[in-house]
Amino acid sequence: MRTLPLLALAVLSLLGLTVGPRPAAAQTDSVQVEENVAQSVFGVDRRELSFRLNARSPERIRSVLLLYYVDDSAVQNSAIPNFQPGTSVTAVYLWRVAGLLAPGSEIKYQWQIETEGGRRQTTPLQTVAFADSRFPWREMRGDQVTLYWHDVDQITAQSLLDEARKAQARLRSDYGLTLDRAMRIYVYARPQDYSSAVTTAGRRLETSMTYGPDRIFVLAQPGQDGTANAQQGVRQEIATAIFLQKTDNPYGPPPQWLAEGFALFLSGSAVSDNNQKALQQFAQNNRLLPLRTLNGNFPSTDNERALAYAESLSVVKFMFDSYGADKVRATLAAFKDGNTVDDGLKKGLGVPLDQLEAGWKTALKSGGAAKPAPKGGAADPNDPMARIFGVQALEFWQGIFGANARWVLIGGAGFIALAIVGVVVGSAVAAIRKAHQETDDL
């Protein structure tokens, strides 16, 4: 077939006609989002987040899904909103969060929309904060800390911010530990306001609590005792927050005894004389709670729970005294990498849980504290006494002599000392006799 003459093509062009395939028509079936909003409600009787989407499309919308993340979690949650399929839809989802979220939580969300023809469109991520809007919050800022309060006096609020600063400075100078991200501290004055804000499923109510790696809640009741308790709470929760930030990982939490003992020890708590005596008796009678049973949740009965906290504080103190702050920090880093309890302790301290527990129990039974390690490091391996009586050596001798290894070693050392004294005294007596004999010969 012959091509059209050039003149004919020109005529067709002037008439607005084309020859050959037509260009593709512009896509007109994309979803248009007309409204996308979220709202937080924090009332006396209502605690909820509401999400609303208005969208339209030339093609019928058959599916709408709400996708969301809570705070820094990598877990994507989904929810099915109420809506009627059609070319124009209004989707609404109401999430009742009483007992689920604490104030300050941030929800990142987006909508996934699908049309009848299978076209899928996802809106950009947006954020809505779940805030305690019942009160007019005031704020003051420090280094990596912002303190919010509403019903305490400014002097008390300032004292709590100062306490947070001092806790940070002590942890930095004594243990080389610093916050990786800024903290928010919320201070409540009335117990009913505090408990209604922080009570969530699965957590016991305490007068100070940490949620996530960046939020601390403190009850500061009026009076000197109330302020002192709140200051202690700030110290403890700053240590808790540092622990969470240093160990947070997507695989699993570190052992509970380490978390609780770490917060208590680094906030300045000490094992009282009465608790030390009780722990010694429990250790000697083999009645201590095994640390493996404290890897997860603590016991629910009051007596066993108190024992669990006392053990946690004692064993963490033993870790710092015996191995030093450097190795404890290395242990936290190992847990942040997602290691198991035994692997984390091996990589950090150099011993698994059973060996750590054996050394700690031996120290308890003898009634003596572990020899303090050099600041920031482990005990000097060249120290001859550490080679014989140190934690590592003691564990070796325990495998031979059993639970009485320390007393066998002490008895052996005493025998050696007496032998040395005998040799020295014998040598001195012989020298004196020899001198007398030489004198008599003269």
Tens of pLDDT along the chain (442 residues) come to 444 343 343 333 433 333 343 333 333 458 999 999 999 999 888 899 999 999 999 999 999 999 999 998 889 999 999 999 999 999 999 999 998 999 999 999 999 999 999 999 999 999 999 999 999 999 999 999 999 999 999 999 999 999 999 999 999 999 999 999 999 999 999 999 999 999 887 788 999 999 988 999 999 999 999 999 999 999 999 999 999 999 999 888 999 999 999 999 999 999 999 999 999 999 999 999 999 999 999 998 999 999 999 999 999 999 999 999 999 999 999 999 999 999 999 999 999 999 999 999 999 998 865 444 444 444 443 344 444 444 444 444 444 444 454 555 556 555 555 655 455 545 554 555 655 554 455 4
Fold of 32-130: Immunoglobulin-like (2.60.40)
pLDDT attached to residue 7: 37
Per CATH, domain 135-242 is 3.10.20.90: no
Q: Is the dihedral of CA 338, 339, 345, 348 positive or negative?
A: negative
CA distance 185 to 188: 10
SS3 content of the chain, % helix, strand, coil (to 5): 45, 20, 35
Return phi, psi of residue 399, to 5°: -65, -20
CA distance 182 to 180: 7
Instruction: Indicate left, alpha or beta for 376 from its phi (over 0: left) and psi (-120 to 50: alpha).
Output: left
Specify the length of the chain in residues.
Answer: 442
Task: Give the three-state DSSP class for 188.
Answer: strand
Tell me the CA distances in angstroms from 128 to 237, 350, 417, one per residue in order: 26, 45, 73
Using the 8-state DSSP alphabet, how is residue 80 labeled?
-
| Residue environment code for 321-342, b if the CB has 16+ CB neighbours within 10 A, otherwise e | bbbbbbbbbbbbebbbeebbbe
CB 265 within 8 Å of CB 323: no
Q: How many Å separate Cα 421 from the centre of its chain?
A: 55
Task: Give the three-state DSSP class for 368.
Answer: coil
| Helices 353-366, 341-348: crossing angle, 10 deg rounding | 70
CA distance 238 to 215: 10
pLDDT attached to residue 387: 40
CB 55 within 8 Å of CB 110: no
Q: Token pair for residue 423?
A: 């040799």
CB 240 within 8 Å of CB 266: no
Task: Give the three-state DSSP class for 264.
Answer: helix
pLDDT attached to residue 396: 42
pLDDT attached to residue 426: 59
Question: Which residue ranges make up each domain of the chain?
Answer: 32-130, 135-242, 249-393
CB 342 within 8 Å of CB 348: no
Q: Token pair for residue 241?
A: 């927050």
Q: Token pair for residue 224?
A: 């000197």
Strand partners, 103: none
